[in-house]
Chains A and B, each alone.
Chain A
Amino acid sequence: MLNRLTDSLNFQAEALSLRSERQRLIASNIANADTPGYVARDFDFATALRQATGQGSVGDSSVHTPKLTMAASNGGHLNRNGQPVGGRDQPDMNYALASQTNLDSNTVDMDRERANFADNTVRYEATLRFINSQVRTLNTAITGQ
Chain B
Amino acid sequence: MSMFKIFNVAGSAVSAQSQRLNVVASNLANADTVAGPDRAAYKARQVVFTTTPMGEVGTAGVTVSQVTEDNSPGRRVLDPKHPQADADGYVTYSNVNTVEEMVNMISASRSYQNNIEVMNTAKSLLMKTLQMGQGG
B-binding residues in A (CB < 8 A): 16-17, 20-21, 23-25, 27-28, 30-38, 41, 81-83, 90, 93, 110, 114, 117, 121, 124-125, 128, 131-132, 135-136, 139
Contact = CB atoms under 8 A, between A and B. Distances in A.
A25 B57 CA distance: 9
B129 A27 contact: no
A35 B10 contact: no
A90 B115 CA distance: 24
Interface in B91-132: 107-108, 111, 114-115, 118, 121-122, 125, 128-129, 132
Closest 9 CB pairs of A and B: A31-B13, A20-B3, A35-B49, A28-B60, A27-B6, A135-B133, A25-B58, A27-B118, A31-B9
A113 B134 CA distance: 32
B135 to A, nearest CB: 6
B111 A34 contact: yes
Given A20-B3, A34-B20, A128-B132, 17 more contacts: A24-B5, A25-B58, A27-B122, A33-B111, A34-B107, A34-B111, A35-B62, A37-B51, A41-B58, A82-B57, A93-B57, A117-B118, A121-B125, A124-B125, A132-B132, A135-B132, A139-B135
A23 B57 contact: no
Interface residues of B, number: 38
Contacts of A32: 13, 49, 51, 60, 62
B84 to A, nearest CB: 36
B2 A132 contact: no
A3 B10 CA distance: 39
14 contacts: A20-B2, A20-B3, A23-B6, A24-B3, A24-B6, A30-B118, A31-B12, A31-B118, A32-B51, A32-B62, A82-B57, A90-B58, A110-B114, A132-B134
Nearest to B6: A27
B50 A35 contact: yes
